[in-house]
Amino acid sequence: MATYKTIRYKNTHIKDIIELPLSKSISNRQLMIFTYANWDINELEISTADDSVLLKNNLLKIAVDEKLTTKTSNRIHCKNAGTVARFILPYLCTLKHNYILESSDRMKLRPLMPLVESLNNTGADIISINKDNRIPFSINPSKLGNNKIEIDISDSSQFATALLMMMPSIAEESTIVLNGDIASMPYINLTLEIMKFYGIDYSIDNRFITLKGSYIKPEKKYKPERDWSSASYFYELLALKKEGELLLKDLRLDSLQGDRQLAIIFEKLGVESIQLERGVLIRAGGAIDYNQNIDFSNTPDLAPAVICTCAALGTISVFTGLQSLNHKESRRMDVLCAELDKLGYDLRDNGMNEYVLLNSCKPQLRNVDFSEIIINTANDHRMAMAFAPMAIIGKGIKISNPECVDKSFPDYWNEIKIMIEEESVFLDT
């Protein structure tokens, strides 16, 4: 059974306040640090995103399981949440009971083996139940005795983050060696800065990260941040609208989040960013550069909204640093190419680790009707949120599985109603 949402452009002047969700990246890191330090995770103010809620609930379940005296296997389900699977796997290796880590079918196709191999090399006992190097995994009690771990992060920087957060719980001083493509360092830097807030000293020497100390609970609380990747869809809205302004409440241009680069990217797409005390004010109407060359190596989560914006504005663009996107909740670049093609835009892989957007002319705004074209989101939250604003350039658009936005931004459809009017939601059985 599939669900659909038909939405239509609301031709009104834009001046409003947007409340973005709390950063799930920060929330998930705090949840793991609190867990390793044996602090109460219920004290944390965390994101309402499905991933953060799932991680918290699983950690609470594990806390109960660890108090049991039975030796039966305890099952932990991470659904389609790559972050949950990667963050929780090292933690399970430090516990006294056996655990089975399960997931959705899609998650089974997402990379996890580099993390499994690194953990096993340091003393863990993780077994692929189906002997295919995919979830489900059986994690047996073990003694992690190595304070130097190597990890290939070509597929995901989360492998390094998961190990970094674990290491202070097993060694006073430790080293992580990063192998493979290290383009995604901003995510690792975010992890290290949060760990530093909780008492861990670190140093980086090229591919070597050294940690010292143990987790210490500070007197003041870590101030939650709003999520920069969620801001991308509102930058897209204003870029396509070409007028108006929005206040992104409590967002900071000096955030630790690497996705703050969004503000710089959209300067060339006609949207200005101004830091105010209450948040970041974004204002449309600036000059647009119709020849874009954007590297997403450090900010892959921004790609869907930025690429859809570039297409709708009629730019000719070259996009790089997108290799990891086909390992996400969907084969994200394949979905972008296919669904943009339905709307008449030509995004293609040129075979040289680049995607090229070819537009022979700029679209005539609001003279096209996409409302009978179904955008297949592949149940991917970022696909749904990136394609919805494209209703602005036509008379409407139809989004499949609109509820998938709950994964990162449960209030998205309410917040976007400033410009997008819901027409209908229906089921297809």
Residue 327 has pLDDT above 80, yes or no: no
3-state secondary structure string, the chain?
CEEEEEEEECCCCCEEEECCCECHHHHHHHHHHHHHCCCCHHHCCCCCCHHHHHHHHHHHHHHHHHCCCCCCCEEEECCCCHHHHHHHHHHHCCCCCCEEEECCHHHHCCCCHHHHHHHHHCCCEEEECCCCCCCCEEEECCCCCCCEEEEECCCCCHHHHHHHHHHHHCCCEEEEEEECCCCCHHHHHHHHHHHHHCCCEEEEECCEEEEECCCCCCCCCCCCCECHHHHHHHHHHHHHHCCCEEEEECCCCCCCCHHHHHHHHHHCEEEEEEEECCEEEEEEEEEECCEEEEECCCCHHHHHHHHHHHHHHCCEEEEECCHHHHHCCCCHHHHHHHHHHHCCCEEEECCCCEEEEECCCCCCCCCEEEEEEEECCCCCHHHHHHHHHHHHHEEEEEEECHHHHHHCCCCHHHHHHHCEEEEEEEEEC
Stretch 280-289: mean pLDDT, rounded? 96
Query: By the 8 A CB rule, do 123 and 146 touch?
Result: yes
Confidence of residue 71 (pLDDT cuts 50, 70, 90): low
**Strands 354-358 and 201-205, bridge-based pairing:** unpaired
> Rounded to two decimals, what is the model's pTM?
0.89
**Strands 148-152 and 137-140, bridge-based pairing:** unpaired
| CA distance from start to end of the chain | 5
What average pLDDT does the chain have? 89
Domains observed in the chain: 2-21+226-428 (3.65.10.10), 24-212 (3.65.10.10)
Confidence of residue 429 (pLDDT cuts 50, 70, 90): very low
Query: What pLDDT, in 10s, does the model give residues 112-158?
Result: 999 999 999 999 999 999 999 999 999 999 888 788 999 999 888 99
In this predicted structure, what is the pLDDT of residue 2?
A: 77
Nearest-angstrom CA–CA distance, 43 and 324: 34
Nearest-angstrom CA–CA distance, 405 and 403: 5
- Give the closest residue to 320 by CA, choosing from 308, 336, 303, 342: 303
Confidence of residue 358 (pLDDT cuts 50, 70, 90): confident
Which of 90-99, 170-179, 385-394 has the lowest average pLDDT? 385-394
Residue 278 has pLDDT above 90, yes or no: yes
In this predicted structure, what is the pLDDT of residue 182?
A: 81
Residue 242 has pLDDT above 80, yes or no: yes
In this predicted structure, what is the pLDDT of residue 422?
A: 60
Stretch 6-35: mean pLDDT, rounded? 91
Which of 31-45, 155-169, 340-354 has the lowest average pLDDT? 340-354
Nearest-angstrom CA–CA distance, 357 and 260: 24
pLDDT over 70 percentage in the chain: 92
Q: How far is CA 309 from CA 24, 101, 239, 388, in A?
A: 24, 38, 7, 11
In this predicted structure, what is the pLDDT of residue 215?
A: 97
Residue 365 has pLDDT above 60, yes or no: no
Confidence of residue 305 (pLDDT cuts 50, 70, 90): very high
In this predicted structure, what is the pLDDT of residue 326?
A: 60
In this predicted structure, what is the pLDDT of residue 372?
A: 74
In this predicted structure, what is the pLDDT of residue 228?
A: 97
- Give the closest residue to 373 by CA, choosing from 341, 402, 346, 348: 341
In this predicted structure, what is the pLDDT of residue 393?
A: 81
Stretch 205-218: mean pLDDT, rounded? 95
Residue 330 has pLDDT above 70, yes or no: no
Query: What pLDDT, in 10s, does the model give residues 36-53?
Result: 999 999 999 999 999 999
In this predicted structure, what is the pLDDT of residue 418?
A: 74
Helix axes 50-66, 82-92, angle to 10 degrees: 20
Query: What pLDDT, in 10s, does the model give residues 174-210?
Result: 999 999 988 778 899 999 999 999 999 999 998 999 9
Residue 428 has pLDDT above 60, yes or no: no
